[in-house]
């Protein structure tokens, strides 16, 4: 029986922060634990996506590897035969499929993508690249080329996953059964086991998500932060003066406290911390300790990774995925008339 594919990509252009870890990496590791053997799991680094906005290219290659190591330190079991890790640019079929999909994608449809519009506003219309505009099509290729059904992503990426489903339907309607359809939005959320994707907020501006692309060092905990510095950032996190105790905060009225509570629960899911009766200060101490322990532990695990072994697994997986991707590409090439049917 062919297994359903769960797939996600995690950026390479910057070091990971706590938001990437809790929102992107940890959910995949948990999925793997929960469903060992039931699904195929593809977790890859979309290195081609990483310079849709300007980056330091001298750091990209190394950063890609650093980020892959975080998967392992997060206890992704890369020895499972159904789990694949790879770098997007090592599988050229992603790019080739993108071009073909581009020609079935509307200019208007891409112009309406929320993430594009936001970034275009930040960066300025005439300084944005065509790559940024085209980003969702490459992402659709990433998904469709392996027939992925479930694509766990953050809230800001939902629209792109829906686009992947739309373009797959469009191609299937025109050319017959070419692509496996990714699940629709509701089913994706149900699969991920929550109504809303995890969205870790900035510690300084809890209305916004934690992000490396905006200059917000005090609001962002990097996985390489010294444990004590991570703790300090938690202690200095913006809260509110609406309540004295933690109680049962929600993101609308008390985003700062709700964010810290979310971080605590994700880092210590089984912990029976009764925090609702704590004062903000007492509560922050607990979150700070938890974050600092987490950083210390992760950094020890990172340092212990055997690079050679990781590289071997990576290259073997890339070879395996190239075969799958090439087969999908050929199906599409035949359908559109680039290869004899
Ligand atoms: N665009 C995603 C992000 O910024 C990363 C990504 C690229 C991705 N290709 C993907 C995620 C395919 C899921 C599936 O987070």
List of E strands, the chain? 5-9, 40-45, 83-87, 148-150
Best residue for ligand 1 mutational test, from 8, 9, 164, 199 (most atoms within 8 Å of Cβ): 9
Q: How far apart, in whole angstroms, are the C-alpha atoms of residue 252 and residue 223?
A: 27
CA of 227 to the centre of ligand 1 (A): 29
CA of 49 to the centre of ligand 1 (A): 8
With cut-offs at 50, 70 and 90, classify the pLDDT of residue 341. Answer: very high
Q: How far apart, in whole angstroms, are the C-alpha atoms of residue 123 and residue 324?
A: 37
- Cα torsion through 249, 255, 261, 266, rounded to 10: 130
pLDDT of residue 86: 98
**pTM (2 decimals)?**
0.92
pLDDT digits (tens, 9 = 90+) for 124-147: 888 999 999 999 999 999 999 999
* Average pLDDT, rounded, for the chain: 94
pLDDT digits (tens, 9 = 90+) for 230-267: 999 999 999 999 999 999 999 999 999 999 999 999 99
Pocket, ligand 1, Cβ cutoff 6 A = 7-9, 11, 46, 49, 139, 142-143, 151, 153, 157
Nearest CA to ligand 1 atom 11: 9
Tell me the CA distances in angstroms from 242 to 48, 194, 202, 203, 249, one per residue in order: 45, 28, 19, 17, 10
CA torsion sign, 71 to 77 to 78 to 80? negative
Q: How far apart, in whole angstroms, are the C-alpha atoms of residue 1 and residue 186?
A: 25
Count Cβ neighbours within 10 Å for each residue of 327-336 and write b for 16 or more, e otherwise.
ebbebbbebe
Helices (H) and strands (E) in the chain, counts: 13, 4
pLDDT at 11 over 90: no
Q: What is the DSSP letter of 112?
A: T
CA of 246 to the centre of ligand 1 (A): 34
pLDDT digits (tens, 9 = 90+) for 84-129: 999 999 999 999 999 999 999 999 999 999 999 999 998 888 899 9
């Amino acid at each position: 029986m062919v297994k359903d594919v769960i797939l996600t990509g995690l950026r390479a252009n910057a070091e990971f922060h706590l938001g990437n870890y809790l929102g992107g990496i940890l959910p995949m590791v948990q999925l793997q634990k929960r469903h060992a053997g039931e699904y195929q799991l593809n977790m890859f680094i979309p290195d081609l996506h990483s310079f849709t906005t300007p980056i330091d290219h001298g750091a990209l290659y190394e950063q890609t590897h650093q980020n892959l190591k975080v998967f392992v330190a997060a206890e992704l079991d890369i020895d499972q035969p159904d789990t694949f890790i790879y770098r997007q640019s090592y599988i050229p079929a992603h790019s080739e499929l993108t071009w073909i999909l581009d020609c079935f994608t509307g200019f208007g449809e891409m112009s309406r993508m929320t993430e594009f519009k936001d970034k275009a506003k930040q960066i300025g219309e005439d300084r944005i690249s065509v790559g940024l505009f085209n980003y969702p099509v490459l992402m659709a290729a990433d998904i469709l080329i392996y027939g992925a059904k479930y694509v766990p992503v953050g809230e800001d990426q939902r629209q792109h996953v829906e686009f992947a489903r739309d373009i797959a339907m469009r191609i299937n309607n025109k050319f017959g059964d070419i692509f496996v359809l990714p699940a629709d939005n509701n089913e994706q959320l149900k699969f991920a086991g929550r109504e809303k994707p995890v969205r870790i907020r900035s510690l300084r501006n809890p209305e916004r998500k934690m992000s490396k692309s905006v200059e917000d060092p005090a609001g962002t905990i990097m996985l390489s932060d010294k444990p004590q510095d991570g703790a300090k950032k938690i202690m200095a996190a913006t809260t509110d003066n609406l309540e004295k105790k933690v109680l049962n905060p929600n993101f609308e009225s008390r985003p700062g406290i709700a964010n810290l509570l979310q971080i605590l629960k994700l880092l210590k899911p089984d912990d029976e911390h009764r925090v609702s009766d704590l004062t903000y200060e007492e509560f922050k101490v607990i979150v700070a300790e938890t974050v600092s322990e987490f950083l210390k532990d992760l950094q020890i695990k990172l340092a212990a990774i055997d690079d050679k072994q990781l590289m071997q697994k990576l290259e073997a997986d890339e070879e395996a995925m190239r075969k799958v991707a090439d087969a999908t590409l050929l199906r599409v090439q035949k359908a559109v008339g680039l290869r004899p049917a």
